Structure 1
């Protein structure tokens, strides 16, 4: 028995078909009862239709759809190819958005990949995008990307990245876990351990693609940030009626400072655009548009300094499509300590370990220049222990994209304190200017725990508010109840069980309020979060102006909810 895989691959469904599924479907299609049902639904009246139908042909559409809903995605894709009638039934099943996620800690990479793919494709879904986050040593990102592209389709936007940890449900046991990469090191199996979190989504009414931030390979090449921002705006304008997309999920290179990139995005996008992600990661990606792809190990003239998975509303979406909304929240894990300081001078230094800034500082309103080591010692004495410290710099800069007129932007940027001497305070990164003001911050588990609790309460209140509004809208216009279909979590790698003293704290707002909803979470090396639609930051900013925008965070957790409201019922 032969089958034209080329024809099937051109259809907008999954196209990795199992031979046993093909045999079953061909048998069904070639059977007498199946031919009767197919031809009848296509309004071709065969002679057999005059007699009462029995067997498969007598199944009504409700029961037929109920059967289709229960088969795996790969078999579902095959079923959609049987006939126009079957395809129509499959489309009716996939009118709602869906997120599916799972992780595996199987040390054999190929087995782990098979486990997560089989789990996310265990029910009907039409993959519109995929995000895979891996932990372990010696990870083959290129092989993982190729494997997922073969399973999900070469035109499906895919991002594969290394993370500091993963959180979600096990593909085999369905047990919920937060797993840090340090857990492998503790077990002494870092050379053989592997973990992967896979999230696959289908969001009808939205268009999705991966757009890279490119940097020329030539010596001293500078990342083309303006082009990156304009590529995102142009894509949004092409598929929707706005230059600002609804959501951007970003993954930045571990060698690139994403603060300037986020400043440009914050300037260029409307306040409704949410941006979340991982500031520093090893990653590979595949865009739905071949010309955007920069392949690992190729002789292409560009590097990828970041990649953005862009979600924009489809201006050509079919009538009757429901509404998808994104909601974000931030749990801060740092508290301000000590007085406010002013940078008297700021000298940028380049070394083998990267870029840093040497600051000479004084207290706000004071005249004495303070040594960096003295400042660090005073804070450690106050806290009673040695701890990480950060400075939060209040910046006011002119920002523009391309030929646009510059606009003043006020933001808060975090830099880790690396040390100090009798004259200077050493901090990671650059971009600090003479005259900038800053506070010192330290990781605070108590503040983070309180913040997570407040977010959980806000999620609960959000559910109650949605339920109340849905009742009103259903009575007035026949609109169905709003529901959360999934979400993502981006938590700082410094949090987790070692930070709080017990596990699953960062996941608790999801687990407490949406226990059966698919969620994919990672521990990042710099969490990105912009455009919070739920006011719950509980950010201990001391005397800082709370109107300052801050997009790249430290010791925080960023939450993203995806909700869906069905279209009004037509009367």
Structure 2
């Protein structure tokens, strides 16, 4: 059915790069009954020394107008209908899509090119080269360091209101591991490019809907508190009290297990809706605690805060992560019952999740499959995950972000 959107994913664990590329191309292409318009490739950091060979090898075997991809500390793909999360071993995941009625535009930007955050939306549109109408959906892959990704996300939200943005930061095999971004645009004249920095992305417009699930893996403890005094990212007062005193009182009220957890897995959730009275799990943007000042009793967090904002302390562990994802999947399933079915998904999982968090492989993907079944899923383990919370796009940590594709309801 050439007029229907089609997606396919193939995963290979062959140790030879040539064999792995041949494997994924043959299986992904054979799953489609029409030519591919888009490819997404994720390659394990076990192939670090061979990144430069990936695009030439793919070009020999595969004809696709636009292909983007990156390296990952692990890759995610579909084999015989089962999703596999392969960490720290040689693997390649290739997703191909036939997208009738969809325009695909590719871009690569580096931090030095980004407009000032005070610039007009037009400056961002000129940089990306994508019109604001019809509303595009974005998939972004960025380098780990100094990519300007936070400014880019803020700029895209500003210039493209209503657009959905999802993706992840390329990762290597360990601290300081080299990363790679891939961008192959045969129609735009930008062919077979390997980048080490910046962000590669695609904008999808037309007969496609991109929906997201962003599971931050935390559960709230205590009660919501109001920031009554702050300076940049430093909380100076909570409910007109010393923040560190408030936190110590909270920790003293926890169970023994929770107190132990708070020593290394304590976070702050910033409420995203200023007007929502009853805050629940999922209403918060989770940010890390960077440090405390014992003298002043202040707490520094990984984001700016301002007086009037509400926040709540959170804990993260395997159980909280599992419950958080399941809650979001249940909500997604309930909302989507009457709409066209999902046809594919991309999964961007933090290196800090996976088997290291759950003690067993494929946990997040198997949970996802229980609620969104029988579709190809591809992705990778990221250095940071990109996705929306409360209508704005952020870079996250310890998150599993899913981009779920379906056709427009005509």
**Coarse TM-score class (shorter-chain normalised):** 0.7 to 0.9
1:413 Cα deviation from its structure 2 partner? 5.6
* Residue aligning to 1:230: 125
Which of the residues 371, 390, 394 maps onto 2:267? 390
Inter-partner Cα distance in structure 2 for 1:292 and 1:435:
47
Inter-partner Cα distance in structure 2 for 1:265 and 1:258:
10
1:338 Cα deviation from its structure 2 partner? 4.8
Higher helix proportion: 1
Inter-partner Cα distance in structure 1 for 2:116 and 2:170:
18
Which of the residues 195, 199, 207 maps onto 1:306? 199
> Do the aligned residues in 1 keep the contact of 2:12 with 2:92 (CA within 8 Å)?
yes
1:230 Cα deviation from its structure 2 partner? 0.9
Which of the residues 3, 6, 18 maps onto 1:110? 18
* Residue aligning to 1:206: 102
SS at match of 2:353: coil
User: Please, what TM-score do these two structures have when normalized by structure 1?
Assistant: 0.57
Residues 493-535 of structure 1 show CA distances to partners (whole Å, capped at 9, x for unaligned) of: 322234334443312354224543212132322221238xxxx
Change beyond 3 A, Cα 1:562–1:446: same
Structure 1 residue 454 and structure 2 residue 332: aligned?
no
* Residue aligning to 1:276: 166
> Do the aligned residues in 2 keep the contact of 1:141 with 1:284 (CA within 8 Å)?
no
* Residue aligning to 2:394: 551
Inter-partner Cα distance in structure 2 for 1:163 and 1:558:
15
Structure 1 residue 416 and structure 2 residue 285: aligned?
no
* Residue aligning to 2:277: none
User: Any gaps of 5 or more consecutive residues in structure 1?
Assistant: 1-92, 182-192, 298-302, 314-322, 348-356, 397-410, 467-481, 532-546
* Residue aligning to 2:280: none
Residues 156-209 of structure 1 show CA distances to partners (whole Å, capped at 9, x for unaligned) of: 222221223223323xx665422223xxxxxxxxxxx41111111111000112
> Do the aligned residues in 2 keep the contact of 1:128 with 1:202 (CA within 8 Å)?
yes
> Do the aligned residues in 2 keep the contact of 1:360 with 1:371 (CA within 8 Å)?
no
Inter-partner Cα distance in structure 2 for 1:110 and 1:95:
33
Kindly report the root-mean-square deviation, in angstroms, between the aligned alpha carbons of the 2 structures.
3.9
Structure 1 residue 487 and structure 2 residue 394: aligned?
no
> Do the aligned residues in 1 keep the contact of 2:81 with 2:374 (CA within 8 Å)?
no
1:250 Cα deviation from its structure 2 partner? 0.7
Change beyond 3 A, Cα 1:292–1:372: farther
Which of the residues 499, 515, 524 maps onto 2:357? 499
SS at match of 1:143: helix
* Residue aligning to 2:406: 563
1:96 Cα deviation from its structure 2 partner? 1.8
User: Please, what TM-score do these two structures have when normalized by structure 2?
Assistant: 0.76
* Residue aligning to 1:440: 313
The equivalences for 1:107-146 within 5 A come to: 107-123=15-31, 124-139=33-48, 140-146=50-56
> Do the aligned residues in 2 keep the contact of 1:372 with 1:421 (CA within 8 Å)?
no
Inter-partner Cα distance in structure 1 for 2:124 and 2:251:
42
Structure 1 residue 365 and structure 2 residue 240: aligned?
yes
SS at match of 2:10: strand
* Residue aligning to 1:12: none
369-378 vs 556-565, which moves further: 369-378
1:561 Cα deviation from its structure 2 partner? 2.4
* Residue aligning to 1:68: none
Inter-partner Cα distance in structure 2 for 1:419 and 1:387:
12
Which of the residues 193, 211, 215 maps onto 1:327? 211
SS at match of 2:240: coil
* Residue aligning to 2:383: 525
Inter-partner Cα distance in structure 2 for 1:115 and 1:427:
45
SS at match of 1:506: helix
Change beyond 3 A, Cα 1:294–1:97: closer
SS at match of 1:383: helix
- Structure number with the bigger relative contact order (C-alpha 8 A, sep ≥ 6) is 2
1:95 Cα deviation from its structure 2 partner? 2.1
* Residue aligning to 1:151: 61
Inter-partner Cα distance in structure 2 for 1:342 and 1:274:
30
Inter-partner Cα distance in structure 2 for 1:99 and 1:161:
19
1:101 Cα deviation from its structure 2 partner? 0.5
Structure 1 residue 96 and structure 2 residue 4: aligned?
yes
SS at match of 1:484: coil
* Aligned length in residues: 380
Inter-partner Cα distance in structure 2 for 1:564 and 1:435:
42
* Residue aligning to 1:167: 76
> Do the aligned residues in 1 keep the contact of 2:228 with 2:240 (CA within 8 Å)?
no
Inter-partner Cα distance in structure 2 for 1:304 and 1:228:
21
Higher strand proportion: 2
